[in-house]
Amino acid sequence: MKKIFIAGQWKLGRGKPTKSHYPADYSQNAEISTASVDDVNDAILAAEAAWRDPAWRNSLPSEKAAILFKAANLLEEKKTFLAKLQTRDNGKPISETTGLVNSAIATTRYIASCLETLDSELTNQRIQSVLTFTTYEPIGVVAAITPWNSPIASEIQKIVPALAGGNAVILKPAEATSLIALELAAIFEEAGLPAGLLSVLTGKGSVVGEAIVHHPLVQKISFTGSTSTGKHLAHVAADKLISTALELGGKSPTIVFADANIDMAVNGVIYGIFSSSGQACIAGSRLFVHQHIYDEFLDALVKKTKNIIVGDPEAPDTQMGPLISESHLKSVDDYVNMAKAEGGKVMAGGERLMSDGRDQGSYYAPTIITGLSNEAQVCQEEIFGPVLVVMPFSDEEALVAEANNSIYGLAAGIWTEDYRKALTTAKRLEAGTIWINTYKKFSIATPFSGHKESGVGKEKGRLGILDYMQTKSIFLNLDDTPNPWCEVK
């Protein structure tokens, strides 16, 4: 049974144990203990003491950054192991998880460098005798709650800027994928992070997650997950009047104009929806193709999609692994059946894959559906699987309205050789990230956020640490004249 990291100590949690399985064949990876409500309380009390400890509070940015740089080096040393572990935990192909670990290393180094160079502001003087400056202070105990689809990236993206800001972090990973979070705890411990500043509390959202976010000492909720959970957490935060960063679901449109470079666009669209088996918040799941090139484009898209290598996640050339679980596979398949019932035509996939040993895991074929309008339920709801709906368009005004016709606003893709059209369309699309002639590119230096029901707040960026800090403005009087207001006239 795996121990968990509570208040700086490796212990068996007092909750009901859980298991991690490899979605490619359902062999067991580990049995993991989970936190109880008492464990949550112990971790949060220790976190509160740890971030208030003068040794941490008064440590220089360079001293905190040194711990982060050390953690980055340890991540790098353990890169192969961590990539394999994430593959075992959620079935993502090894090529992809290796990329995610690289991104986690780069994120940690980038944030450490930002911390070293983060200066406070000296504001312009408005009163001659008073000097004003603004400092940034930690918020306190931060709850970091993450989903199962890219644990290492989403966890590092929260832990590192929160620690850089001088806070303590309570990390609650998804129940299905806790192994990376526990390794991260070991890495930060080895890097010299003082005890209590990071706890990893495994377990169910409805038990452990609820206990964490409701705890009075938790002062920020940094959450990545579904829109429904995000809305619930926004209510919890509103009651406590604490801040949130909510990175939620998506149903992102991709637009291919008639003048697009077809070869580039076909590859980009396929990567945008089918990498991660479509289990990505930014998956480009609604595709609008100009009528003039629709047949040619669809033909190329279907041919290439049928050649995607779906199989053993540990094989280096695998492009798509299994879905996370049988219940998720059923949900994806239900959506495909719903699309058919709504009049959709399946041009590729549309079924689970059982051949070549894939009957042991939750494999689903990359699926392309045509014949539906944007109003169809499968175009309005997030499927979070390898399902693409392709729709033709001719009128560009109507197209923008259709692309924006969604409760979500996470990302969008545009394929055209006309940069004026690309930029004017980008301005009109309601989404936090727009990719032009590319898709699913990320940079820790570039802020990431969702519009509409895709989220509130942002992550990343050079000043991302400040999202985990609060300001304090100090007015320093340089004059020694008593305030004339008090003088008797």
Q: Which residues bind ligand NAD (CB under 6 A)?
A: 145-149, 172, 174-175, 205-206, 209-210, 213, 224-226, 229, 232, 247-250, 281, 382, 384, 410, 450, 455
At closest approach, how far in Å is the CB of 80 from ligand NAD?
24
Please identify, using beta-carbon distances, which residue of 250 and 322 lies nearer to ligand NAD: 250
| Pick from 56, 11, 58, 57: nearest CA to 36 | 11
Q: How far apart are CA 238 and CA 435, in angstroms?
A: 33
| Pick from 165, 146, 159, 168: nearest CA to 218 | 168
Please identify, using beta-carbon distances, which residue of 87 and 244 lies nearer to ligand NAD: 244
Would you name the residues annotated as active-site residues?
247, 281
CA torsion angle 264 319 152 435 (round to 10): 10
CA torsion angle 271 272 277 280 (round to 10): 150
At closest approach, how far in Å is the CB of 249 from ligand NAD?
3
Report how far apart the first and last C-alpha atoms of the chain are (Å, whole number): 79
Report CA 262 to chain centroid distance, whole Å: 30
Q: How far apart are CA 386 and CA 362, in angstroms?
A: 12
Q: How far apart are CA 160 and CA 105, in angstroms?
A: 11
At closest approach, how far in Å is the CB of 426 from ligand NAD?
19
Please identify, using beta-carbon distances, which residue of 8 and 250 lies nearer to ligand NAD: 250
Please identify, using beta-carbon distances, which residue of 196 and 209 lies nearer to ligand NAD: 209
At closest approach, how far in Å is the CB of 75 from ligand NAD?
20
At closest approach, how far in Å is the CB of 208 from ligand NAD?
8
Structure tokens at 138: 């930690």
At closest approach, how far in Å is the CB of 240 from ligand NAD?
13
Q: How far apart are CA 440 and CA 273, in angstroms?
A: 9
Alpha carbon distances (Å) from 261 to 69, 416, 424, 442:
42, 7, 19, 22
Please identify, using beta-carbon distances, which residue of 224 and 318 lies nearer to ligand NAD: 224
Please identify, using beta-carbon distances, which residue of 8 and 409 lies nearer to ligand NAD: 409
Burial class for 281, CB neighbours closer than 10 Å (0-12, 13-18, 19+): buried
